[in-house]
Amino acid sequence: MSTQHGTPHDSRRDRGLFRTKTVEQSILDTEEPEHTLKKSLSALDLTVFGVGVVIGTGIFVLTGKIAKEQAGPAVALSFVVAGVVCALAALCYAEFASTVPVAGSAYTFSYASLGELPAWIIGWDLILELALGCAVVAVGWSGYIRELLDGAGWHLPSGLAGTHEGHFGFDLLACILVLVLTAILVFGMKLSSRVTAVVVAIKVTVVLLVIIVGAFFISGANYEPFVPPSEPNTAGGGLAAPLAQLMFGFAPSNFGTMGIFAAAAVVFFAFIGFDIVATAAEETRNPQRDVPRGILGSLAICTVLYVAVSVVVTGMEKYSKLSTEAPLADAFKDLGHPFYADVISFGAAVGLTSVCMILLLGQSRVFFAMSRDGLLPRVFSRAHPKYGTPYRSTIALGVVVAVVSGFTSIDVLAELVNIGTLFAFVVVAIGVVLLRRSRPDLPRSFRTPWVPVVPMLSVLASLWLMLNLPAETWVRFGIWMVAGFGIYFVYGRSHSRLGIRNRQAGKG
């Protein structure tokens, strides 16, 4: 056995593709003057970030769409099931974030528990997830703004209105949004948190207004039957079919008890984003206490809001009559209240702004952490001397995402965001178990209960949801991963700071 920073570890793990970076070294690297991020966030700021990224248009669209197509009024139970799955993952994230309060989220956690190659793969995966997610959200925001402009009699030239319905063009509004949010992120986390707080306050107010007002239009008859009779799901064949169907011949069903769980696999994606709270751990004043509070608090708030909205929308109008594009807004229109429909559209447009910004924040922190470790060019790991933000990685990624969003259709590669998130959940859950065994001495201000039961349940739940994704999504994800392996072996492995340290120390 050898020691490093006064802590025991297995010398065999210093070698090769699975060399691990100690928690102590990860924390020590954050103290280097050129690579130090400014600590300015509180538990409230983190909770606001979590709510800001999770609550998007999904709460106004997905609730009614899934009720009509898969679960009926029991969609509320689907949100509960999805919330439980996320809670399992959140407990694992909370322990890691309180133990390793360093930028990078699942990437940093994996480096400390699984090794360098798994850490690279999960970091590469997170960059894909967050970049594509931000681009798709920006395109959605652009669509809402174009509708508002059209209503006011202002029309963008077709060549600057984006790619949609067979028309190819550059989405100027989406590109501008990403560039403006990039600038806000460069000017400091406190400014970013203030902007996010204002946006979140607006959209949560809209959600609460919808819940309270909608409650007065609920009819008990619309809840009957609460769990509609089961119907076979005629999913597409070939690569468009869920992987589980191709592997096991499993034919999913809509409605009924199985419909509730099938719907949970879909509405789960409305929760994506709470894990981004962990990427801001290094910029939090008291990360051991506040990051777990931010993760679990934001998830709890979002689950309650999702369930409440689903109960209201299925009570206002029969599930079979709900529209699939704007079910909540259309329900108010059908009841003769177009004003509330406009309020919902406004809330959705405002809400997407914070979603986009926090996705940008998350990916820049992962990129920054990977660059600081030498797995990506070190030029991107400099913190701004005045604002204390990773400005180079933020600007570089912001420009790339702005260009991608300009040419991205709203439905292109969206599933890749989902599979990327679930893959991260699996890795983090496994990492919690491994770090408990390899480093039981580490101080943990938050401990995941019932280890290894909770992490293993998180792994199984995430894998089950991944199997419900189309096979073609797995193919695209595999191509991205192969590209990541290539970059690691060509550049990352030889430039790794951990590898250089180990070679200098004669450890291989």
What does the pLDDT read at residue 10?
A: 43
> Rounded to 5 degrees, what are φ and ψ at 166?
80, -5
What does the pLDDT read at residue 164?
A: 55
Residue of 435 and 239 predicted with greater confidence: 435
Residue at 266: amino acid letter: V
Distance between CA atoms of 300 and 429, rounded to whole angstroms?
Answer: 20
For the chain, the straight-line distance linking the first and the last C-alpha, in angstroms and rounded, comes to: 16
Per CATH, the number for 39-497 is: 1.20.1740.10
Residue labelled with tokens 């790991």: 381
Mean residue pLDDT of the chain comes to: 84
Residue of 213 and 128 predicted with greater confidence: 213
Distance between CA atoms of 478 and 160, rounded to whole angstroms?
Answer: 33
The domain spans of the chain are 39-497
* Range in 145-149, 405-409, 414-418 with the lowest mean pLDDT: 414-418
Helix (H, G, I), strand (E, B) or coil at 359: helix
Residue of 243 and 463 predicted with greater confidence: 463
> Residue 399: is its pLDDT beyond 60?
yes
What radius of gyration do the chain's Cα atoms show?
23
Global pTM reads 0.83
Distances in Å between the alpha carbon of 460 and those of 148, 425, 439? 44, 10, 24
Say if CB 288 and CB 446 are below 8 A apart. Answer: yes
Give the closest residue to 502 by CA, choosing from 30, 15, 7, 110: 15
Query: Any alpha helices (H) in 187-255, and if so which ranges?
Result: 189-215, 243-248
Beta bridge partners of 171: 161
List the Cα angle 63/66/68 in 5-degree steps: 105
Beta carbons within 8 Å of 438's beta carbon, 6+ residues apart: 9, 10, 20, 113
Counting residues of the chain whose pLDDT is more than 90, the rounded percentage is 35
What does the pLDDT read at residue 4?
A: 37
Say if CB 279 and CB 366 are below 8 A apart. Answer: yes
What does the pLDDT read at residue 171?
A: 86
> pLDDT-based confidence at 488, cuts 50/70/90?
very high
Say if CB 234 and CB 206 are below 8 A apart. Answer: no
What does the pLDDT read at residue 65?
A: 82
Which tens digit of pLDDT belongs to each residue from 22-65? Answer: 889 998 888 887 778 888 888 998 999 889 888 876 777 778 88
Distances in Å between the alpha carbon of 489 and those of 112, 117, 126? 20, 9, 19
> Rounded to 5 degrees, what are φ and ψ at 234?
-90, 70
What does the pLDDT read at residue 233?
A: 66
Residue labelled with tokens 């699942």: 106
Which tens digit of pLDDT belongs to each residue from 59-93? Answer: 777 788 889 988 899 999 999 998 998 999 999 99
What does the pLDDT read at residue 32?
A: 81
What does the pLDDT read at residue 347?
A: 82
CA 436 remoteness from chain centre = 25
> Residue 13: is its pLDDT beyond 60?
no
**345, burial (CB in 10 Å: exposed 0-12, middle 13-18, buried 19+):** buried
What does the pLDDT read at residue 7?
A: 42
Q: How many CA atoms lie within 13 A of 422 on its CB side?
A: 26
* Residue range 222-243: mean pLDDT, rounded: 78
Residue of 194 and 308 predicted with greater confidence: 308
What does the pLDDT read at residue 421?
A: 83
Please state at what angle helix 58-66 crosses helix 338-372, rounded to 10 degrees.
110
What does the pLDDT read at residue 268?
A: 76
> Residue 123: is its pLDDT beyond 90?
yes
Helix (H, G, I), strand (E, B) or coil at 223: helix
Where is 218: in which H helix or E strand?
none
Distance between CA atoms of 74 and 313, rounded to whole angstroms?
Answer: 12
> Residue 250: is its pLDDT beyond 50?
yes
Which tens digit of pLDDT belongs to each residue from 358-386? Answer: 889 888 989 999 999 999 999 999 888 88
> pLDDT-based confidence at 11, cuts 50/70/90?
very low
What sign results for the dihedral spanned by CA atoms 496, 498, 503, 508?
negative
What does the pLDDT read at residue 374?
A: 94
Both tokens assigned to 42: 């509180």
What does the pLDDT read at residue 337?
A: 86
Say if CB 424 and CB 125 are below 8 A apart. Answer: yes
What does the pLDDT read at residue 235?
A: 54
